[in-house]
Structure 1
Amino acid sequence: MLVELNLLHWIYLLFIFAILGFMIAKRDTSLVCILGIFVLGFVSTHSLSESVMGIFNSFIYAIVELIGTILIISVIVGMSNILTKTGINQIMILPFTKLIKTPSLAYWIIGILMMIISWFFWPSPAVALIGIVLLPVAIEVGLPAIGVAVAMNLFGHGIALSSDFVIQGAPKLTSDAASLPISEVISASIPLILIMGIVTTVLAFIFLKRDLKRGIIKVGDEKREKVIKDNEDYVDIISLKSKKVFAILIPIIFLMDIIIMIRANLQGEDATALIGGTAIFILIIVSIKAHKNKAIEKITLYLVDGLQFGFKVFGPVIPVAAFFYLGSDGFIEVFGDFLPSNSQGLVNDLGIALANSVPLSPAVGSITLIVVGGITGLDGSGFSGISLAGSVARLFGTAIGKGTAVLTALGQISAIWVGGGTLVPWALIPVAAICDVDPFELARRNFVPVIVGLMVTTIVGIFMI
């Protein structure tokens, strides 16, 4: 059923273009999103007070929708902090150091291990977990620091973060914006992420080997101990025997979670809750062992540290998500039912109108989503714009008549690979700092593999729709 577009639809579309413009200009989009919420509210309610209240209420709506994602990330970071400070993480990774004998093995083992840990802990904590132990080992066998940075970056901030199969933060944002079940987006993303991951990591490896052979990059006199942990005095507060026990038990416990998720068919919020609850118990148990009678206070401190990290990461996301949630059910929740009687939401209405006016094809849709996703990643967050990618995917999927999940996955992959990130220099600082390399040099080395990967993934996406 064709819905007649009114002023609200055109205002919403205008602000989408404005947000894209600010992202291209590498400016923050929060103010534009807030203004968009205000204007939509004023035009619909004709009340200054209601439109001002709508800004705050839209933030509440967005936070309620995102709180599970924010909380799981916070809990995981809190747990990883205690594992780092007690040195348990070193023991967990130590067996892999015995497998690293050549530069090639160093690249692939560090990359794959980074990917696995990032799925459970997210890349930021994983950077510290991997870098502390494996960077000196890689340099010892002949893989330069820039090679370690590339491997950690592509596998962690690229493959793991763009897929986010375990914590499911990224697919939660995009699936909500596209009004799809999270499982549908994850299923559509698996072959695309596989293609993207293979192309980028293999190309980067080939370029590294070529430049090592030509002498363009060398293993210089890099320090064997680059990574200095904070709170070194914490490392020995647990005995070596206890560290070994925890290092064995923690992976087993998370493996049990995965088995439970598979057998009980837990997905989305249920799967996240299982991982989050497990992480809290691990944090509590390790804290009790490490801090004895001070554990009660320390547990709270670790949780607070995690929450600070979580809200710092998602702070820029909330205003953007608040605006884009207005494109679906959020509008009625925040401002009331001011849309046309047969409206299916601002985004769906625009999609239906587009379907009746502009012939779209899977090729046009796929290319557009890759471009839009990449543009949204230019702010260096990766997450602040994936709600937009989901909304645009919903619009195009409605117009084409199919493929919304594939388009959503393409936008998610592009946004996070660019801004989450492997191309935007200011998103590469954690990895660059750990490996003591120039973030701009790391971005330049990633550029060709990632661009080629996005092109190949787009072609595959076209055939999947």
Structure 2
Amino acid sequence: MGIELTALHWIYVSFIVLIIGFMVMRRDTSLVCIVGIFLLAITASASLSSAISDIFNSFIYALTELLPTILVISIIVAMSKALTATGVNDVMISPFARFIKTPALAYWITGLLMMGISWFFWPSPAVALLGAVLLPVALRVGLPALGVAMAMNLFGHGIALSGDFVIQAAPKLTADAAGLPVNEVVSASIPLVFIMGTVTTIVAFIMLRSDMKKGKLSADSIEAVSSSYKDAKLSLSLSAQRFIALVIPLLFTLDVLAMFMLNLQGGDATALIGGTSVFILILISLIAYKGKGLEKTTSYLIEGFQFGFKVFGPVIPIAAFFYLGDAGFQAIIGDFLPKGSHGIVNDLGIALASVVPPNAQIGAVTLTGIGAITGLDGSGFSGISLAGSIAQLFSTAIGAGAATLTALGQIAAIWVGGGTPTHTLYI
């Protein structure tokens, strides 16, 4: 027996449509989400003061849910800045540069390195770690700068970020919105990520080679790019750089082994990576800056937190709205849903199934389209809560496929939001 839809359900649906519309127009949706939270709260409680308070409470709820993800990304960015400042990144990457002999090798080696590093460091810091070392090498063997950018973006912001198997920031957002465990979304995304990645990277490489043969693209000679940080490179010896460069991959390899052996998933896996990154940051700061190591550790942490909250600041009000579609409603606003309700999104899914019986094909096309639309703002992360919420709605109506639909929406959002279509379709 279905649940009768109330004003709360219709307000939620209306604001989903509004959010999608604003994203199509490439406008920010934070204000729309805040208004949606207020209207849901005041409709449920009929109290102006409670509704105003619930806006803040919803932010606290969203921040509490997202805080582990924000923290681990901030710490990893702080660590990557320390690696760049001390020149350790050059030592870590330079051994791979000697294998780059042709444009094809430059494309694939750059891409695969970017993918591997992005899984542990996230794509934005990985660009800084790789670019200064590999770009001059790629140009010398004849790969255009656009080819380097394509490889780094497709493998980093595409394959690595859309799956996000290690840090699990993306699947955490979509899984929470869909009411699923993170490991289910990660497992469902594996075949989708690698099929998407294989097709796009090969097609992009074929297009790149074609343009190079036609003379449309060529490798311009530029001076070797070097890190803009100079303060610590002079004080850190080559032997110390090599020591740190060996320790870092060893520690992260041990982390991966521990994840498999101890069956660490979700928050436990994220915490292990985060703790290891803190240890590495402290090690680098103490060795490189000697008497100023304590202060430099704090300085790098501040830079990392600035990056983390800059990225996730716009996500918090959006996530807060979509958390109201599931368990967050009772936690934030209270027990105001009709008796027998399973949450706003689940109720809407049941209602959708009774009106227009959807199928897996319609669900897949809808989630891909919504994911792509949410990525139009250039972030990729701001809209994946919406993708998770819509996936929950369709999976409830279909009766299966929640994790797969959630992963599909996540992948579409991040590939578009990361700017990868502009590189794969640059012709």
Q: Which residue of 1 aligns with 2:25?
A: 25
Q: CA deviation at 1:113?
A: 0.2
Q: CA deviation at 1:100?
A: 0.3
Asked if the contact 2:133/2:226 (under 8 Å) is kept, the reply is no
**Alpha-carbon distance in 1 for matches of 2:79, 2:301:** 8
Q: CA deviation at 1:416?
A: 0.1
Structure 2 counterparts to residues 184-223 of structure 1, below 5 A: 184-220=184-220, 222-223=221-222
Asked if the contact 1:171/1:412 (under 8 Å) is kept, the reply is yes
| Paired letter, 1:309 | F
**SS of structure 1 residue aligned to 2:183:** helix
**Alpha-carbon distance in 2 for matches of 1:219, 1:166:** 34
Q: Which residue of 2 aligns with 1:13?
A: 13
Q: How much is the aligned-residue C-alpha RMSD, in angstroms?
A: 1.0
Unaligned runs of 5+ in 2: none
Asked if the contact 2:184/2:403 (under 8 Å) is kept, the reply is yes
Q: CA deviation at 1:52?
A: 0.7
**SS of structure 1 residue aligned to 2:338:** coil
| Paired letter, 1:378 | L
Asked if the contact 2:78/2:304 (under 8 Å) is kept, the reply is yes
Q: Which residue of 1 aligns with 2:293?
A: 295
Structure 1 residue 235 corresponds to structure 2 residue 257 = no
Structure 1 length normalisation: TM-score? Answer: 0.91
Q: Which residue of 2 aligns with 1:123?
A: 123
Q: Which residue of 2 aligns with 1:360?
A: 358
**SS of structure 2 residue aligned to 1:143:** coil
Q: CA deviation at 1:236?
A: 2.2
Q: CA deviation at 1:414?
A: 0.1
Q: CA deviation at 1:448?
A: 7.3
Q: CA deviation at 1:304?
A: 1.0
Q: Which residue of 1 aligns with 2:100?
A: 100
| Paired letter, 1:447 | L
Q: Which residue of 2 aligns with 1:434?
A: none
Asked if the contact 1:78/1:303 (under 8 Å) is kept, the reply is yes
**Alpha-carbon distance in 1 for matches of 2:425, 2:212:** 18
Asked if the contact 2:79/2:300 (under 8 Å) is kept, the reply is yes
**Alpha-carbon distance in 2 for matches of 1:41, 1:31:** 15
**Alpha-carbon distance in 1 for matches of 2:137, 2:3:** 62
Asked if the contact 2:122/2:161 (under 8 Å) is kept, the reply is yes
Q: CA deviation at 1:54?
A: 0.7
Q: CA deviation at 1:350?
A: 0.3
Deviations 1:280-330 (A, max 9, x none): 001011110011121111111111111110000001100100000000111
Deviations 1:155-181 (A, max 9, x none): 000000001000000000011111111
**Alpha-carbon distance in 1 for matches of 2:75, 2:228:** 19
Q: Which residue of 2 aligns with 1:165?
A: 165
**Alpha-carbon distance in 1 for matches of 2:185, 2:419:** 20
Asked if the contact 2:30/2:314 (under 8 Å) is kept, the reply is yes
Number of aligned residues: 427
Deviates more, 1:296-305 or 1:266-275: 296-305
**SS of structure 1 residue aligned to 2:418:** helix
| Paired letter, 1:167 | I
Q: CA deviation at 1:224?
A: 2.9
Asked if the contact 1:87/1:236 (under 8 Å) is kept, the reply is no
Asked if the contact 2:84/2:229 (under 8 Å) is kept, the reply is no
Q: Which residue of 1 aligns with 2:276?
A: 278
Unaligned runs of 5+ in 1: 424-442, 450-465
Structure 1 residue 258 corresponds to structure 2 residue 256 = yes
Structure 2 counterparts to residues 41-440 of structure 1, below 5 A: 41-220=41-220, 222-225=221-224, 227-423=225-421
**Alpha-carbon distance in 1 for matches of 2:233, 2:3:** 63
**Alpha-carbon distance in 1 for matches of 2:408, 2:300:** 36
The percentage of counterpart residues that share the same residue type is 63
Q: Which 4+ runs in 1 deviate beyond 4 A?
A: none
Q: CA deviation at 1:343?
A: 0.6
Asked if the contact 1:177/1:388 (under 8 Å) is kept, the reply is yes
**Alpha-carbon distance in 2 for matches of 1:416, 1:369:** 13
Structure 2 length normalisation: TM-score? Answer: 0.99
**Alpha-carbon distance in 2 for matches of 1:337, 1:97:** 60
**SS of structure 2 residue aligned to 1:233:** coil
Asked if the contact 1:383/1:420 (under 8 Å) is kept, the reply is no
- CA separation of 1:11/1:261 partners in 2, compared to 1, >3 Å: closer, same or farther? same
Asked if the contact 2:358/2:398 (under 8 Å) is kept, the reply is yes
| Paired letter, 1:67 | L
Deviations 1:192-239 (A, max 9, x none): 11100000000000000111111111123x3132x3423223222210
